[in-house]
Amino acid sequence: MSQPLSERIKNLPASATLAMAAKARELKNEGKDIIGLSLGEPDFNTPEFIKEAAIEAIQADYNSYTPVDGYAELKDAICTKFKRDNGLEYAPNQIVVSTGAKQSIANVVQVLINPGDDVLLVAPYWVSYSAMVILAEGNPIEIRSDIKTDFKITPQQLEDAITPKTKLVMLNSPNNPSGSMYTKAEYEALAAVLEKHPNIYVLSDEIYEHINYDGVTPFSFAAVPSMYERTITVNGLAKAFAMTGWRIGYLGGPAWIAKACTKIQGQVTSGTNCIAQRAAITAVLAPVSKIKYMVDEFDFRRKRIIDLLQDIEGFTVNVPKGAFYVFPDISFFFGKKLNGTRIESASDFAMYLLEKANVATVTGDAFGCPNNIRISYAASLEEIEEAIRRIKEAVS
Ligand code: GLU
């Protein structure tokens, strides 16, 4: 029987992160001893004080549809958070709560992009950005960076990528997959370029904001005064609060964009889960010190994994300042044979690690960086040490 799917879905690549996680799960179920370092998912439990807020909400009979853009109390709490952490003044009509930051980003792309518009993606970029642009019939345009520039772009690169068709730039700091962070001065320099192009909007994905190391302070792009009116700031609870499955993301931005995002959400999903939203009020207002124990643990693992990877010939390792990924350059192996398997690409290398070392990582191809692989260190120290030991053995 024919399967007449739409061209839209036929042209859409599957999510490489989720595909690798699914493959690892499948192999595990078959009895293989797989260590999954592919998914960016904290291995901590959701903190007790947030769980208690959710239980209270269930007992208080929160069960109805919520406003499409989120409970008023949650939007107020998000306004307080934006002011407290980011120095950003947003009113409640500038906030939309969604089913994960993923939906917030997808909403923005849908409401801004017309067929044929160019969207600038700073590579490495998160896998789903390009897919979301393709769904909106825009053109994803990569601005490339690599390990030599700490995976950051220069103002000149941004300027060179802009054309009359450019509508949106997607930024992400701390970055998934590289962990790099832009400083205030670096963002101001990029903003100076955009000041000359008033028709370009900016999506600033700040989902890893609270997970940062070495005293580097995260900076919100919308906090550059000239950028406030055209930046959409996206954040969420999944990463810093160990709430990936609760699906709470949100955005702050111009009221007309928030209104349009509410309109599309109203036709597609409605407001997100009511219990998760009640718990989110508590999470968003909690002092950041309450989640520091998780960040400290990630930091410990970060240092350990860097040490271990630096010891493997052929791995060039960056030192991430945020998030929980390392993104080593493994192009040394291209054109070589490892135990009889010829490696031509990062995808070959990631597949080789899965098959020979039983370690799941993600190919850099999916992030617009064909020389790298992404390794998540949001796993236990024992798993990390064992995984790197196996990788070392498999490539020696
Ligand atoms: N954002 C996480 C990652 O990059 C979760 C998986 C996904 O949605 O891509 O691994």
Report whether residue 176 contacts ligand 1, using a CB cutoff of 6 Å: yes
Over 90: is that where the pLDDT of 196 sits? yes
Mean pLDDT in residue range 223-232 = 98
* Pocket of ligand 1 contains residue 17 by CB under 6 Å: yes
Average pLDDT over the chain, rounded to an integer: 97
Reduce the secondary structure of the chain to three states and give it as a string.
Answer: CCCCCCHHHHCCCCCHHHHHHHHHHHHHHCCCCCEECCCCCCCCCCCHHHHHHHHHHHHCCCCCCCCCCCCHHHHHHHHHHHHHHHCCCCCHHHEEEECHHHHHHHHHHHHHCCCCCEEEEECCCCHHHHHHHHHCCCEEEEECCCHHHCCCCCHHHHHHHCCCCEEEEEEECCCCCCCCCCCHHHHHHHHHHHCCCCCCEEEEECCCCCCECCCCCCCCHHHCHHHHHHEEEEEECCCCCCCHHHCCEEEECCHHHHHHHHHHHHHHCCCCCHHHHHHHHHHHHCCHHHHHHHHHHHHHHHHHHHHHHHCCCCCECCCCCECCEECCECHHHCCEEECCEEECCHHHHHHHHHHHHCEECEEHHHHCCCCEEEEECCCCHHHHHHHHHHHHHHHC
How much distance in Å is there from the Cα of 365 to the middle of ligand 1?
15
What is the CA(17)–ligand 1 centre distance, in A? Answer: 6
pLDDT at 4: 94
Cβ–ligand 1 distance for 272 under 6 Å, the answer no
What was the pLDDT predicted at 11?
87
- Ligand 1 neighbourhood includes 39 CB (under 6 angstroms): yes
pLDDT at 290 (0 to 100): 97
Q: pLDDT category, 1, cuts 50, 70, 90?
A: confident
Q: pLDDT grade, residue 102 (50/70/90)?
A: very high
pLDDT score of 233: 99
Does the beta carbon of 18 lie inside 6 Å of ligand 1?
yes
pTM: predicted TM-score of the whole model, two decimal places: 0.96
Position in ligand 1 atom list of the atom nearest CA 102? 8
Mutate which of 18, 25, 239, 361 to test ligand 1's pocket (most atoms within 8 Å of Cβ)?
Answer: 18
Q: How far is the CA of 39 from the centre of ligand 1 (A)?
A: 6
Does residue 15 line the site of ligand 1, with CB under 6 A? yes
Q: Domains in the chain and their CATH numbers?
A: 7-45+291-395 (3.90.1150.10), 48-287 (3.40.640.10)
Confidence band for 265, pLDDT divided at 50, 70 and 90: very high
Residue identifier of the C-alpha nearest atom 2 of ligand 1: 40
pLDDT of 2 reads 87
